[in-house]
Structure 1
């Protein structure tokens, strides 16, 4: 019987892989949580008495069953399940010795210190590769290991600003706008995960580890996607369009009589059906709007004529009628509505995990979007309290010197 209780289901795909997680905030922890969900043993190395910065990024904080707030923030919970927390001070000689012992028996190390920091402590890739030639070493920074900006500190906001997405996000005449969550961090974590999996495959074939260099700035630039190639091909600088698509019309959010609806009409045959449902046959018959290229070229005139049709019915009325003829559409949900949606709940995107160590009983977390038939993700460990597993991992005597509030022996 597997850890999630289903007969015949194999352990996680990465069971047996040990990962040393020297990262904090969001990009690195996102990467290591994904790997942990897939079965890897993730050892989260944290500074004694402080730990991951996000532990204090609140409110809100988790509330214990007796109503008192704990020291664990909701932000920290988002990216730290399936990990064991070990307190080690890498600025201390003994802490570095203990870390090297862990590295010798590990497969992957993930770190997100500023460029050059690990080298100062003798923990750069070249140093650790001598200890473990099979080690996959992933460095996550703001601007990478090379280039004129390499020494700069990196934050999600800076990546979004400098990487172009803020110039494309927001109302046409509004301020440049970042995405509402730390999306540069999250996508960097995803790319780091892909790189690590590829490097593990390479190591299995060759016996050699390697250094992975992943940067927030590079990742942000990479997901300019079609807006970048639109610019390369046309030479025209892309601009903010609100919710409009640069290459498809109608594709956006439209006011209804009681709210909003998102509509994505991907081809001209869909557009004919869409126009019939909303009563806008005149638009489908107009030569300037009959093709998607025409609608894109005449976007403002088309949108101005379409809006009165869309406000003639409620959101739910349009959803029923458009879905019936195969037009992609959906409501514009807030976060509360998302986690009341029966499909979201069916897909396991909201989970509960025991959280007794904080006095909270249970904690609600986001589920993984990965659905593997033979080696599914498992939710084995809730986000750990600081230093919770130091003794288990390091041994009782070694752990005592690194736990929060403990004095080192002289």
Structure 2
């Protein structure tokens, strides 16, 4: 196996919170050197102050000492180098420029317009290093959008329409438990960044990659023709089942829940056999997909009635034996301990092994490269000397002056 596919690439990471740090986490996991630039006056990345924390007393909800480390940072800060830089200080632009000269990529997730006011936007970076790929992740795009310009995940979920795709008709909007906007946007940002790097390698010229959280999430909503469903009278929100694909949905067994996905003719025949309704196999109400959709309530009714009094293990065994795609609905803590995802490195242990904590891995396997997120989380400014001194070549007296003047 070789090193990571991005070995030799350097990323200047100006990000905070989740969307930006997750993008740079993936780049780090793919082998890039990620230099995380943190504000010394604000205590660094805001994620450093997210509860819960891990420290000498184990897992706690409130930080009791400086040794306590946020679990959020434990997940998002791995494999990164931390330097401090007060970007509001007038001398910080020169330091930032030196970082950009040594980099292939800059990633930032400030609100629209902030990098311009600080004088560290794409135009400045491109003047310093024409090959630089400068990636911006924001709520509404680099030009801004509705509201204050500060976009939180819940705001984006609300505006994207995704809250009105879950739940049943007439119910209150459903906020996804995962911060899905904060996690989808960085995926597109990484795709765009790597595409721009390939183009820069070919042309010698970098560019600005601009990804909005609203656009990323709304584009996923648009993958399903919800407007077409409404026009022909199909409900957008269908609760636990999906009438336009029957049998299809989530159902309760006696001791748990299971998901069923059997809309094809072959899968539906297996379902009817499994639930003891082989008498319906040749019933014209259920022999075709369109017919089952017209009678979806009946189909889902007899599936639910059959499963309700049976143990989940029996339900799953019976459905699987009859070739029906079905699975247990797991709790998150159970899912991240699946031996398969652990073996593949898609989820990895983090922190002290005795605590049993897990974080995101890189869910990509390569045949001739490695991915790695085993690196420790850096302390704030831990790599000032190695980055500013060794990489940029700053002498010790300049480092002292920058620190004394509050630049780093």
Output the TM-score relative to the length of structure 1.
Answer: 0.88
SS of the counterpart of 1:109?
strand
Which of 130, 133, 148 is matched with 2:130 structurally?
133
Alignment of 1:390 onto 2:384: yes
Partner residue in 2 for 1:27: 19
Partner residue in 1 for 2:46: 53
Partner residue in 2 for 1:3: none
SS of the counterpart of 1:191?
helix
Alignment deviations for residues 226-258 of structure 1 (CA, whole Å, 9 cap, x no partner): 43x242476358532223336422221111122
Alignment of 1:109 onto 2:109: no
Contact 2:243 2:297 in 1 (8 A): no
Counterparts of 2:55 and 2:277 in 1: how far apart (Å)?
53
Does the C-alpha gap of structure 1 residues 30 and 399 become closer, same or farther in structure 2, counting only changes over 3 Å? farther
Counterparts of 2:382 and 2:358 in 1: how far apart (Å)?
20
SS of the counterpart of 1:181?
coil
Counterparts of 1:361 and 1:402 in 2: how far apart (Å)?
39
1:251-266 superposed matches below 5 A: 251-266=248-263
Alignment of 1:369 onto 2:363: yes
1:5-404 superposed matches below 5 A: 9-49=1-41, 50-58=43-51, 60-64=52-56, 70-146=67-143, 148-149=145-146, 152-227=149-224, 229-232=225-228, 235=231, 239-245=236-242, 247-352=244-349, 364-395=358-389, 396-400=396-400
Contact 2:74 2:350 in 1 (8 A): no
Partner residue in 1 for 2:393: none
Contact 1:89 1:402 in 2 (8 A): no
Does the C-alpha gap of structure 1 residues 204 and 161 become closer, same or farther in structure 2, counting only changes over 3 Å? same
Counterparts of 2:279 and 2:158 in 1: how far apart (Å)?
42
SS of the counterpart of 1:120?
helix
Counterparts of 1:380 and 1:145 in 2: how far apart (Å)?
33
Does the C-alpha gap of structure 1 residues 326 and 220 become closer, same or farther in structure 2, counting only changes over 3 Å? same
Counterparts of 1:16 and 1:130 in 2: how far apart (Å)?
22
Does the C-alpha gap of structure 1 residues 398 and 62 become closer, same or farther in structure 2, counting only changes over 3 Å? farther
Output the TM-score relative to the length of structure 2.
Answer: 0.89
Deviates more, 1:312-321 or 1:45-54: 312-321
Counterparts of 1:16 and 1:267 in 2: how far apart (Å)?
48
* Structure 1 residue runs without a partner (length 5+): 1-8
Alignment deviations for residues 278-335 of structure 1 (CA, whole Å, 9 cap, x no partner): 2122444432232222222332233223311122421111222222233211111112
Aligned length: 394
SS of the counterpart of 2:40?
coil
Counterparts of 2:339 and 2:36 in 1: how far apart (Å)?
34
SS of the counterpart of 1:78?
helix
Deviates more, 1:140-149 or 1:62-71: 62-71
Contact 2:362 2:373 in 1 (8 A): no
